[in-house]
């Protein structure tokens, strides 16, 4: 998709459709829709429609007007942004996405989106529109033989006259990188497991690294076993598909020696549950159990292009979790790379096993701050539903960096506890720890397990099990992979630039 910036009066914009935001300034009883920008020509074109009460400005409401009076645009699309008092860049991102998906459904291939007034400024508004546009343009119907090309070909972001073109172009270019990287992650997550084995996953990561100038190292089973990654190998041993350890390095010239940020992702390309096999119903979705690893690959893609002056290492532990005569069994004891012994209670608690070795390995490579992402527990989905992902932290400064990242990314995470009470729940009588702590507090006991492998290193854990896959279409995003965490990971990395 070609996306470009224009600084122009809206009346002069020539386009198939000009999209703009209406906000509700009224109360519960009586909506009062008004444009989210000042433009007399557009206000006149929409005046009769607003006066009629046919539009209210409620969130994601769409109203299409043909041949609007006084405008060179062929159509005018009014998108509701919801209550004016609560309208932020988060709602703007979704509103821009709503415009693109609505127009795609009408086979309209190009449009212009007017930049509304936003409390955080024009640059933030441009970023949000561009990110929302790219996210909306993705569709998951990759393998349909009757697939129609509904992709948006061109979007023009129209900023008000007098805007700083250089700064807005920079904002647009940065947002394009993040939007494309989020979609790159979604493409990976969308792939079926027969078309994205661990070997194929690693090859996709390697090609991405080549394209953006990252160093990439891919290691197979011999190296994994030689490094004594017993937790990782215990999951991989049951599959005929070889595992892959993917290491991506971003080491810009002029970056300080510390901090070194480690991004570690769970890359289970298919999860049957192993010997503790899952129910058949819904198991097809377990192709997305590598969404955490895909998020790290997407984030590294964006970091390489945005070029912050900070060292970043991305690690993805990629394997299948399969039942076979070679698979590990409940009751087995495995020795992790760190030397800790693990009693296997449930082979379906495999994500924490691969991450255990990934986190420890990141520390051996010199990472001073760690963040991991994984579709780790159903318990997190029970706790938070599909609205929020879970976040855990062992360090307040690292967590504050993450909350600042969320302010910019707009992604929804909710902090959950990971204190010593949960560690006690995973103590084993035969080994150091067990890989599950029972039914209660499952998201926190999983986090407590991971915490054992980071020790005092500042660490953030993201449990994205409930948000990595959209079960239904939204007006701004298609059903399927969401690309959750990519934007937040990028902003978390950027938050450390010049901080030490």
Indicate if 148 belongs to the active site: no
End-to-end C-alpha distance for the chain, whole angstroms? 38
Task: Kindly give, in sequence order, each residue whose CB lies less than 8 Å from that of residue 131, ignoring residues fewer than 6 positions away.
Answer: 93, 175, 178, 179, 182, 487
Q: Give the DSSP letter string of 114-183.
A: EPPP-TT-HHHHHHHHHHHHHHHT----TT-TT-------EEEEEEPTT--HHHHHHHHHHHHHHHHHHH
Interatomic CA distance for residues 108 and 153, integer angstroms? 9
Interatomic CA distance for residues 354 and 423, integer angstroms? 19
Strand partners, 341: 335
Interatomic CA distance for residues 88 and 490, integer angstroms? 20
Q: Which of 58, 228, 258, 278 is catalytic?
A: 278
Q: Which of 83, 204, 352, 408 is catalytic?
A: 352
Would you call 57 exposed, middle or buried from its count of C-beta atoms within 10 A (0-12, 13-18, 19+)? Answer: buried
| Per-residue buried b or exposed e for 134-152, using 16+ beta carbons within 10 Å of the residue's own CB | bbbbbbeeeeeeeeeebeb
Indicate if 206 belongs to the active site: no
Q: Which residues are catalytic?
A: 278, 352
């Amino acid at each position: 998709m070609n996306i470009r910036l224009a600084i122009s009066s809206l009346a002069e914009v020539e386009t198939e459709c000009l999209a703009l935001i209406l906000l509700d300034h009224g109360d519960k009883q009586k909506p009062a829709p008004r444009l989210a920008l000042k433009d007399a020509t557009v206000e006149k074109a929409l005046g009769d429609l607003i006066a009629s009460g046919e539009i209210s400005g409620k969130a994601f409401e769409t109203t299409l007007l043909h041949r609007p009076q006084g405008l060179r645009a062929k159509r005018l699309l009014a998108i509701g942004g919801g209550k004016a008092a609560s309208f932020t860049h988060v709602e703007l991102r979704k509103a821009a996405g709503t415009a693109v998906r609505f127009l795609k459904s009408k086979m309209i291939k190009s449009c212009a989106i007017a930049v509304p007034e936003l409390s955080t400024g024009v640059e933030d508004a441009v970023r949000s529109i561009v990110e929302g546009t790219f996210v909306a343009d993705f569709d998951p119907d990759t393998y349909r033989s009757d697939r129609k090309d509904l992709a948006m070909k061109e979007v023009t972001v129209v900023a008000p006259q007098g805007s700083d073109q250089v700064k807005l172009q920079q904002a647009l270019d940065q947002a394009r990188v993040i939007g494309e990287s989020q979609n790159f992650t979604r493409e990976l997550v969308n792939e079926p497991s027969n078309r994205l084995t661990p070997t194929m996953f690693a090859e996709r990561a390697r090609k991405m690294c080549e394209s953006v100038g990252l160093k990439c190292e891919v290691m197979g089973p011999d190296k994994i076993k030689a490094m004594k990654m017993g937790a990782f190998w215990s999951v991989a041993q049951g599959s005929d598909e070889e595992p892959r350890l993917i290491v991506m390095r971003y080491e810009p010239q002029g970056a300080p020696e510390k901090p070194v940020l480690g991004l570690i992702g769970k890359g289970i390309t298919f999860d049957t549950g192993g010997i503790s096999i899952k129910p058949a119903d819904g198991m097809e979705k377990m192709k997305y159990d590598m969404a955490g690893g895909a998020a790290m690959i997407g984030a590294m893609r964006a970091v390489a292009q945005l070029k912050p002056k900070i060292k970043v290492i991305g690690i993805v532990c990629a394997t299948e979790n399969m039942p076979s005569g070679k698979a590990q069994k409940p009751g087995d004891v495995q020795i992790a790379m760190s030397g800790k012994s693990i009693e296997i209670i449930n082979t379906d608690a495999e994500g924490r096993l691969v991450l255990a070795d990934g986190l420890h390995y990141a520390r051996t490579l010199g990472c001073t701050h760690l963040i991991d992402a994984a579709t780790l527990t159903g318990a997190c989905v029970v706790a938070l539903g599909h609205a929020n992902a879970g976040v855990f932290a062992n360090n307040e400064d690292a967590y504050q960096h993450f909350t600042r990242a969320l302010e910019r990314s707009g992604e929804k995470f909710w902090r959950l506890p990971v204190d010593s009470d949960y560690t006690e729940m995973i103590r084993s009588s035969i080994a150091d720890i067990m890989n599950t702590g029972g039914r209660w507090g499952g998201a926190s006991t999983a986090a407590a397990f991971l915490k054992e492998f980071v020790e005092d290193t500042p660490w953030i854990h993201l449990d994205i099990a409930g948000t990595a896959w959209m079960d239904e279409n939204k007006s701004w995003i298609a059903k399927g992979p969401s690309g959750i965490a990519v934007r937040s990971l990028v902003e978390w990395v950027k938050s450390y630039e010049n901080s030490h």
